[in-house]
Amino acid sequence: MPELPEVETVRRTLVDKITGCQIKNVDIKLPRLIKWPSAHEFKALITGRTIITLARHGKYLLLYLDNEMIVVIHLRMTGRLYYVSTADLTDQFSRIVFELSNGDHLLYADTRTLGTLYAMRPDELWRISGLASLGPEPLSPEFTKEYLAGILHKSKGKIKALLLNQKVVAGLGNIYVDEALAIAGLHPERTANSLNRAEAERLYSAINQVIADGIAHGGTTFRDYRDGAGKSGSHQNHLRVYGRKDLHCYQCGAQIVKKEVAGRGTHFCPHCQR
């Protein structure tokens, strides 16, 4: 479900509400979601601690506590993290409930239960391989045209697969990759090293643009995604190709194609993207 713009929106809509709150208790309804340490230790480590801040790296959320511990959360496909004010705990997919000392709750809900949670000190974060190996973030100083061009040049795989790789760029997922390729006018099955300089620069700009737009619109809600206040995003109203199979391309009128590429449902305009 959530890609960088969705996870960042969750962070922004949550950080001010929970900073300074003490975690009075943790109700772990589904212990197997806790990947490190044991669910029992997880609960002991964070109960009674105060939340310092909420950060994000790629698609990971990092909840900093006042005892040097960091609760790391990955929402995977259907995870949702949101603030519930009046003990309104009616979510049927509620999996982990953080009870706050002010009487409110920070709720982790997850339909497919693929999400993962950890509690670690900063020097233990290397254990989360996906977090430790993240590439640069779009819109960051580390993500430069030269960096992307260099990666493209030495990669022989399909451009779609490359962009889904979190080691290459942190935070892109299936929706935003399709959208970035649409904006750049590039076919998802192009080999990465076949892009010329101008195409690489178009792709670079498209990635930054689509991520910035996604954040500005509060993320894309197709089904499950909600922000930290339980609200939907609106970027689904701005998508060019994703979810538009057989509909007409806004630019040329051709029918949008959906095809499996790199193991994922992939949408593109066969006329505009080459």
Partner DNA sequence: ACAGGAACCTGATAGC
Partner DNA sequence: TGCTATCAGGTTCCTG
Number of residues that bind DNA (CB under 7 A): 43
Among 11, 59, 190, 244, which one carries the catalytic annotation? 59
**Residue 123 within binding range of DNA, rule CB under 7 A:** no
Which is nearer to DNA, 18 or 33 (by Cβ)?
Answer: 33
265 binds DNA (CB under 7 A): yes
Tokens of 236: 């689904």
Is 264 among the catalytic positions? yes
Distance of closest approach, residue 67 Cβ to DNA, in angstroms: 26
Name the residue with tokens 């950890």. Answer: 118
Active site (annotated) includes residue 3: yes
The single residue among 130, 136, 185, 270 that binds DNA, judged by CB under 7 A, is 130
User: Among this protein's residues, is 2 annotated catalytic?
Assistant: yes
Structure tokens given for 162? 């490359």
CB of 43 or CB of 190, closer to DNA: 190
Chain residues in the site for DNA (CB under 7 A):
1-3, 6, 32, 58-59, 74, 76-78, 92-93, 111-114, 129-130, 155-158, 161, 164, 166, 173-175, 192, 219-225, 233, 236, 262-265
